[in-house]
Amino acid sequence: MQNQYKKLMKKCISLAKKSEGRVSPNPLVGAVIFDDDFRIISQGRHEKYGENHAERNAILSAKEDLRGKSIIVNLEPCSHFGKTPPCADLIIEKGLKRVIIGMSDPNPIVSGRGIKKLKEAGIEVIEGILEKECKELNEIFLKNQLEKKPFIAIKTATTLDGKIATASGSSKWITDEYSRNEVQKLRNKYDAILTSSATVIKDNPSLTCRMKNGRNPVRIILDTNLNTPSGSKVYENNAEIIILTGEHVADSRIKKHKTCAKYIKCPVKNGHIDLNKAVDLIYQQGIMSILTESGGILNNAFIQENLADRLIQFVAPKILSDKTGKNFSEGCTRSDISECNNLIITSTKQLKHDIIINSIFIKDI
């Protein structure tokens, strides 16, 4: 029985992933309805923010009576009126006898209440099926709900010896086109891409999502002294742009910058944007997740401030062998290996030539 539930939960997770980049600030959710012989009757996912939840879509797409059937869903069904009616109420109304859940909802408005409502209605509730995988699927939503901060992933492309560029700054291209296609999928997944003014000035990136049917994330630029040229590619394509600049920058200077960006003044710390303050200001703009694409100094700053949640490292089978080459994280001097930042590798993926290493940071308390 447990193996059958795990198989169906994997299907829920797979369904939910199809909505990446479309449901924020809501979680990714998939649902499957089945009978006692584990025959799938219908399925659904939360497709877009503001539209039906996964359970409702699965129920509405069913072509037969659902009394006595079971539903499996990766997240606890909601019990409150939000943009849509409560899913728990609909499950009860349709006479489903069993609900299998991957994880409880961390949202305090929901947490445990949906499960309680189902049980009080006489419905069997089974919890914790592939809970670890379900939490990883919605790591962004978990961070938002528990810490009221955006989830931050650092994306980097390195050689085998951890270099992102030569000493002169040459970096195109460390990884191949297959890796660059994967990057487009990441840009589609996250609410925003964040970079520094130094990267904009040096590389003049567009930071667009070039995936078919993808969407351009919000572009966030940390520009302490407002040095980025207003004609930079990042300001093109009519995307939403946020520039975080120092509190000392005069309003008249901002007015002369003449871009379509939204300018937000942020406190400065040691000559740079205060990252802790910046992250709070970004969250206040409704940005739930950030993909950083920048140089080693900013990467290191996010890591040392315990702000980075995930590292997505594209590794090419190349060795630079240049001690003056640029590292993907630099700026610290350490004398003992015990001072390392520690991570847990959650997955690896082989592309044609390169590999992707996905890791989560073990945060300092």
Once rounded to an integer, what is the mean pLDDT over residues 278-292?
A: 97
Q: Are 295 and 195 in contact (CB under 8 A)?
A: no
* Sheet with strand 30-34: strands edge to edge: 40-45, 30-34, 70-75, 98-103, 124-126
Q: Are 260 and 238 in contact (CB under 8 A)?
A: yes
What rounded mean pLDDT belongs to the chain? 92
Q: How far apart are CA 240 and CA 237, in angstroms?
A: 9
Q: How far apart are CA 240 and CA 235, in angstroms?
A: 9
pLDDT tens figures, 306-339: 999 999 999 999 998 877 778 888 877 787 888 8
Choose, from 55, 76, 182, 293, the residue flagged as catalytic: 55
What's the confidence (pLDDT) of residue 167? 78
Residue 85 has pLDDT above 70, yes or no: yes
Residue 80 has pLDDT above 80, yes or no: no
Q: Range with the lowest mean pLDDT among 43-52, 68-77, 85-94, 331-340? A: 331-340
Q: Are 328 and 171 in contact (CB under 8 A)?
A: no
What's the confidence (pLDDT) of residue 335? 78
What's the confidence (pLDDT) of residue 71? 98
Going by C-alpha positions, the residue among 291, 355, 328, 310 that lies closest to residue 171 is 328
Classify residue 284 by burial, with Cβ atoms within 10 Å: 0-12, 13-18, 19+.
Answer: exposed
DSSP bridge pairs for 359: 311, 345
Per-residue HEC secondary structure of the chain comes to: CHHHHHHHHHHHHHHHHCCCCCCCCCCCCEEEEECCCCCEEEEEECCCCCCCCHHHHHHHCCCCCCCCCEEEEEECCCCCCCCCCCHHHHHHHCCCCEEEEEECCCCCCCCCHHHHHHHHCCCEEECCCCHHHHHHHCHHHHHHHHHCCCEEEEEEEECCCCEEECCCCCCCCCCCHHHHHHHHHHHHHCCEEEEEHHHHHHHCCCCCCCCCCCCCCEEEEECCCCCCCCCCHHHCCCCCEEEEEECCCCHHHHHHHCCCCEEEEECEECCEECHHHHHHHHHHCCCCEEEECCCHHHHHHHHHCCCCCEEEEEECCCCCCCCCCEECCCCCCCCCHHHCCCEEEEEEEECCCCEEEEEEECCCC
What's the confidence (pLDDT) of residue 337? 86
* Global pTM value: 0.92
Report phi then psi at 276, rounded to 5.
-65, -45
Given its phi and psi angles, is residue 226 left (phi above 0), alpha (psi -120 to 50 degrees) or beta? left
Q: Are 188 and 17 in contact (CB under 8 A)?
A: no
pLDDT tens figures, 209-268: 888 887 889 999 999 999 999 889 988 877 799 999 999 999 999 998 988 899 999 999
Going by C-alpha positions, the residue among 156, 204, 192, 154 that lies closest to residue 281 is 192
Q: Which domains does the chain have, with CATH numbers?
A: 2-143 (3.40.140.10), 149-361 (3.40.430.10)
Asked if 55 is an active-site residue, the reply is yes
Please, which pLDDT band fits residue 10 given cuts at 50, 70 and 90? very high
What percent of the chain lies above the pLDDT cut of 90? 74
What's the confidence (pLDDT) of residue 320? 86
Residue 140 has pLDDT above 70, yes or no: yes
Going by C-alpha positions, the residue among 293, 329, 321, 316 that lies closest to residue 209 is 293
Please, which pLDDT band fits residue 363 given cuts at 50, 70 and 90? confident
Once rounded to an integer, what is the mean pLDDT over residues 48-59?
A: 95
Q: How far apart are CA 74 and CA 43, in angstroms?
A: 12
What's the confidence (pLDDT) of residue 94? 95
Most confident of 3-7, 170-174, 324-328, 340-344: 3-7
What's the confidence (pLDDT) of residue 82? 67
Once rounded to an integer, what is the mean pLDDT over residues 108-113?
A: 83
Dihedral of the alpha carbons of 233, 313, 141, 28, in degrees to the nearest 10: 90
